[in-house]
Amino acid sequence: MTALAESGHLRKMAVELGGDSGPVRYSLPLDNLVLPLNDHLGKTLSLRFRGAIHCCHCGRATNKSFSQGYCYPCFRKLAQCDSCIVSPEKCHYYQGTCREPAWGEEHCMVDHIVYLANSSGVKVGITRASQVPVRWVDQGAVQALPVFRVQTRQQSGFVEDVLRQHVRDRTNWRAMLKGPAEPVDLAGIRDALLERTDKELSALEERFGIQSLQRLEGATTTPIDYPVLEYPARVASFNLDKNPLVEGTLMGIKGQYLILDTGVINIRKYTAYHVDVIVH
């Protein structure tokens, strides 16, 4: 018996931390619909790509998705698709060459958090302050700890660049999907890391001002639990461009991945893909 059958363009899953230490609550946006997912764990899920991709910014039909959901013209012109989003220390706003200065002021010239997270091991990362704890969940972190609050995205990039000389800045997604990372003392790791990089960080504080780079010494570690019935022993990834049908029993959700008994799929990777979703 069919419990759910909907159609629309994929967007990255919406997340909400569970109350009373419960697992993260996930919802799947499909155009104007939002489908709660946690209650469908253990059920058969089918996701079929209908062969159409429409740019998540302008709606234009495109044969290929660029930068997770954009057509090529938007990829080339939008500030949110510029290389400085991935490498914020390369921000060129102050040179007057930002693709969209108004967008940059709203998204980059605002407070950012530099954090440590434990996803497939300890990593350093950055996010807009308004995106805490969403960014941590999107990366599949089981623990996260804010370390710095800074005034611009570029500044967060400079701080991250210092810290990543001693700790990784990427998540091993395959390892993350095989099970929860072992708990670690993030506060202790933070203290050792700050001591080790004190000279470089002090230079940044002198450059931008101590109020621009605030050390969050009183921050506490946030634990994060995920709705997973069973982790896969072997991680096999679905590719909608090669096979339009994804089908299997929904065993869990972590990061931006659906974990099926037949494989995993990164929903964010397929932003703007038009799909049919059936759960029964």
Q: What is the pLDDT of residue 2?
A: 56
Average pLDDT, whole number, for the chain? 95
The one-letter amino acid code at 246 reads: V
What confidence tier does 54 reach under pLDDT thresholds 50, 70, 90? very high
pLDDT one-digit tens code per residue, 86-119 = 999 999 998 999 999 999 999 999 999 999 999 9
User: Residues with Cβ < 8 Å from 240, sequence gap 6 or more?
Assistant: 49, 246, 265, 270, 273, 275
Instruction: Give backbone dihedrals phi and psi of 81, rounded to 5 degrees, phi first.
Output: -110, 5
User: Per-residue pLDDT averaged across 212-223, rounded?
Assistant: 95
Give the separation between CA 176 and CA 35, rounded to whole angstroms: 24
What is the CA angle 259-270-140, rounded to 5?
45
pLDDT for res 210:
83
For CA atoms 222, 227, 231, 234, give the dihedral sign. Answer: negative
Among 242, 247, 240, which residue's Cα sits nearest to residue 263? 247
Q: Which residue in 27, 44, 60 sits closest to 134, CA to CA?
A: 27
- Residue ranges with strand state E in the chain: 4-9, 14-16, 25-30, 33-36, 44-53, 112-118, 122-128, 143-150, 213-215, 222-223, 245-254, 257-260, 263-266, 273-279
For residues 257 and 269, what is the distance between their CA atoms, to the nearest angstrom? 10
Question: Is 80 exceeded by the pLDDT of residue 82?
Answer: yes
Domain locations in the chain as residue ranges: 4-64+226-279, 75-223
Residue whose entry in the numeric block shows the structure tokens 């500044």? 155
pTM of the model: 0.94
Which DSSP category does 54 fall into?
B
**pLDDT digit string, tens, across residues 181-204:** 999 999 999 999 999 999 999 999
Map 137-204 to HEC letters.
Answer: HHCCCCEEEEEEEECCHHHHHHHHHHHCCCCCCCCCHHHHHCCCCCCCCHHHHHHHHHHHCHHHHHHH
218-235 burial code (b ≥16 CB/10 A, e <16): ebebbebebbbeebbeeb
